Homo-oligomer: A and B are copies of this chain.
Amino acid sequence: MTRSPIIARSLSSLHRARTELCKRNATLALVPTMGALHDGHVSLVRLAKRRAQKVAVSIFVNPAQFAAHEDLGSYPRTWKEDLARLKAEGVDLIWNPDVKTMYPDGFATRVVPEGPALAGLEDKFRPHFFGGVATVVAKLFTQVRPDMALFGEKDFQQLKVVTRMARDLDLGVKVVGGAIIRERDGLAMSSRNVYLSPDQRSTAPVLFRTLKATAKRMRDGDNFKAALSDGADLIRQAGFALDYLEARHAETLSPISSLNDGPVRLLVAAKIGTTRLIDNIRA
């Protein structure tokens, strides 16, 4: 039998729980989530358990990272299922603040990331996103004070932004990326996949297939521009509205046009119907 996680909803109960959990200098890993947990989150929890003695998961749907037209209201909330999964994984602590606890009256401070947050990828299509992410993650780090925090590579740019932010603000938290977990047909797991109609769901793996095919052409020595342009055509022909398909330096996220110029990451974002999907792979 696994013990139930401690569930903290106020800062005072969080701090009490943290002190109790880490009293013999136990190391603590945090997996920040917005709930609606899937196997990708679970893989981060398992990675956390291998890396640290205690594991905390935060569940907070952060209004600050949604634009007015985005899906804050309809974002899936599955508390009961989430709790069952986290209990089964032996998570020690769930930090589940409400909006008033995270942003009390008079809240007036933003953490504004630049550098990787201005790479012209997600930031171009979701201009408020990384400001909201950086602010809430900075707060999650100072609230929970973990030794490390785990983020999925699916949000690849976010992983870079959070890594930079934690270093820049001397938060003392090591940011660790976890590999993308995929459905059997290759679709990257995402809480937003539940929005897809059956037709859209069967089309969705085109993104990963195209990433793989494009990466292969690059490794085979094809011109980056031609490979990317053909990949973009494939994605559009499948019925997506493409936001971007780009090759970037895997560390700096700056544009790159040859495998010789550094580790290359291929990144894609596209809408099918009203659902926006992102994915990426190493090229």
Contact = CB atoms under 8 A, between A and B. Distances in A.
A231 interface: no
Contact of A109 (B106, B108, B109, B165): B165
A143 B172 CA distance: 9
A117 B107 CA distance: 12
A172 B107 CA distance: 16
Q: For the complex formed by this chain, how many copies does it contain in all?
A: 2
A172 B14 CA distance: 13
A117 B108 CA distance: 9
A108 B254 CA distance: 15
A164 B107 CA distance: 8
A142 interface: yes
B106 A114 contact: no
A275 B109 CA distance: 30
A164 B103 CA distance: 12
A112 interface: yes
Max chain B Cβ within 10 angstroms of own Cβ: one of A106, A116, A170: A170
A168 B115 CA distance: 23
A7 interface: no
A142 B117 contact: no
B164 A143 contact: no
Contact of A108 (B107, B116, B143): B116
Interface in A75-118: 106-117
Interface string A142-181: 1100000000000000000000110011111000000000
Contacts of A128: none
Contact of A169 (B116, B139, B168): B139
A138 interface: yes
A6 interface: no
Nearest to A111: B111
A103 to B, nearest CB: 8
B108 A170 contact: no
A272 interface: no
A134 interface: yes
23 contacts: A11-B170, A106-B164, A108-B113, A108-B114, A108-B115, A108-B116, A108-B117, A108-B164, A108-B168, A109-B112, A109-B165, A109-B168, A110-B112, A110-B114, A111-B111, A111-B169, A138-B169, A139-B168, A139-B170, A142-B142, A142-B170, A142-B171, A142-B172
| Top-6 shortest CB links A-B | A108-B115, A109-B168, A108-B114, A142-B170, A110-B112, A143-B170
Given A106-B164, A108-B113, 15 more contacts: A107-B168, A108-B117, A108-B164, A108-B168, A109-B114, A109-B115, A109-B164, A109-B165, A110-B111, A110-B112, A110-B114, A111-B111, A138-B169, A142-B171, A142-B172
